[in-house]
Structure 1
Amino acid sequence: MNQGFQQFLKHWFKTSAGLAIFNQEKQLIDKYIENLFGYFLVQLGCVSTENLTQNSRISSKLLVDDTVAPDFVQQKGIYWVQAELHFLPIGQDKADVVILPHTLETVDDPYYLLRRVDNMLLPEGHIVLTGFNPIACMPFRLKYFSKLTGFKKAKFRRANRIKEWLEVLG
C-alpha cells in the first residue's frame, strides 16, 4: 500500500480545499449507503478521521487499514483490523458492502484488490469507490501539487479502466 499518498490525503482533507472535496465525497457516500441493506460492511483504507460508514444501516462495520489507531475506530462504532490490503483477512461471500475511499490510488495492483473485493462480496453486494479522475484534475495537479511528494505517489487510474475491470469481474 502506498502510505505516502494515503498520508497526504489525511492531511490535505483537513485544508479548506481538501475539506470541500472530502465533504462532497462524504455526502455522495452517505446518500448511496443509507439505503443499502446487509449485515456486514467493510471499508478498505482510511483517508480521514471522519466516519464514512455512519449513515449506513448495516450494524457490523469493519475498517481494514495498516495505519489507523484502534482507539479512534472503536469510538466511532467500527471494528478495526490492522492488515495490508493485499492480504485481506475476510473470506469469500462475507461482505454486503465494501467501501474503497481512494484505495485504488494507493495500491500497487488495483485489479488484484478488486478481484479480492469481488471474492469477499456476497452475490448481490455493492462496491462504493471514490477516486480522482486523472484527466480532469490534471491542471489542478500541475498548479497546486507539482511539488508535493505525497501526491506524486498516487497511482491514478482512468474511470473507464476501472469500469472495464468491474465489468470483467461481473
Structure 2
Amino acid sequence: MTVRKGPGSPLARLQDWYRSPLGAEVAALESACVQRLLSDTFGYYLVQIGVTESFRDAMASSRIRHRILMPCEHPSGHGGREVVGWPSRLPLASDSVDALLLPHTLDFSPDPDAVLREVERVLIPEGRVIVLGFNALSAWGLWSLLSGSAAQVPWCGRFRTAHQIEDWLSVLGFDIEVREHIMFRPPFRRALGPSFSAFDTLGRRLWPILGGVYSIRAVKRVATLTPLRPAWGRRSLLRGGAAEPTTRRAGHA
C-alpha cells in the first residue's frame, strides 16, 4: 500500500497550505530548523521526499554535493534534479544516499513503517534521516481531534509524537542524534500577531515537548567490525535491473 500522489493527494495539498499565512509561518520555522540540522551533515546525495517548494533554501544551503527532489506531484515544475517514485518503494539503490529529508511524509502515508524501512535500505552506513511531523502532544494535535476537519490539510494527517517515531527508528537500527520542537503558538491565524510571540519563548523554556511540530535527526548504525563507506565516485543512486526487496533480512531484530 502506498501513499497516493497527484493534485488531490494530502501531500500535494500540504504545499498549498504552506502558502497560507499560518502555513507560511510554519514553513519558515521548519526551513530554519532543517538548515540547522543539515549544517554539519556531509556526503554525496541528499534526497527530499514529499513537499519541496518550502525547503528550497534549506536544501540549497546544504554542503552535500547532489540534492535530489522526490516531489508529491510529477513534475513539480520548480526545476532541479527530480526522481519519481513512491515513498514506500523508493526507486533508489540500496546503500546509496547520505541523507534523507522527510517533511511530514510520515504524517500522510498510509504505511509509514514501509517508508522507514525504505529509508533504512537506501541510506549508507552512518547516513542520516531528518523527519518533520505534526506533534500529537500539542495544541495542534488537540485541534486535529476537535476540529472535525478530517478532509482538510493538515488536519487530515495522522499526528504522532516524536517518541513514537524515535521508537520506530530505533527498531530499524537508528540512533537518535537530535530532537527539537518548534511552533508553540496555537494553530490559528490570529495567533500570528505579536501578542502571541511570548508563546514561542515560553514554550521553548517551560514545555519544550509541546511544540506543534517536531524534528528528528537520526543516524543509521550498522553492526560490523570494519564499516566501509561506499566510494563516492563510483556510487549509483538509482535502482537498476530487477526490483529489490524493501526489507533487509539481516542485521536487525
TM-score (norm 1): 0.86
Q: Distance in 2 between matches of 1:7 and 1:167?
A: 29
Partner of 2:165: 162
**Which segments of 5 or more consecutive residues in structure 2 lack a partner in the other structure?**
174-253
Number of corresponding residues: 165
Moved over 4 A (4+): none
Partner of 2:144: 141
Distance 1:160 1:86, change over 3 A: same
Who is 2:62 aligned against? 56
- Aligned partners of 1:61, 1:48: CA distance in 2, in Å? 13
Q: Identity over the aligned pairs, expressed in percent? A: 28
Q: Give me the whole-angstrom Cα distance separating, in 2, the residues matched to 1:37 and 1:47.
A: 20
Q: Name the residue aligned to 2:47.
A: 42
Give the secondary structure class of the aligned counterpart of 2:107.
coil
2:69 aligned counterpart, secondary structure: strand
- Bigger relative contact order (CA 8 A; separation at least 6): 1
Name the structure 1 match of 2:83. Answer: 81
Distance 1:111 1:148, change over 3 A: closer
- What is the CA–CA distance in structure 2 between the aligned matches of 1:38 and 1:70, rounded to whole Å? 25
Let me know the Cα RMSD of the aligned residues: 2.0
SS in 2 for 1:87: coil
SS of 2:19's partner is coil
User: Is residue 5 from structure 1 mapped to residue 10 from structure 2 by the alignment?
Assistant: yes
Structure number with greater Rg is 2
Say which is worse superposed, 58-67 or 103-112, in terms of deviation. Answer: 58-67
Contact 2:46 2:64 in 1 (8 A): yes
Give the structure with the higher percent helix.
Answer: 1
The answer (yes or no) to whether the contact 1:2–1:154 under 8 Å persists in 2 is no
Counterparts in 2 of 1:164 and 1:20: CA distance versus 1, 3 Å: same
Instruction: State TM-score, norm by structure 2.
Output: 0.60
- Read off the aligned partner of 2:48 and give its amino acid letter: Q
Counterpart for residue 113 of structure 1? 115
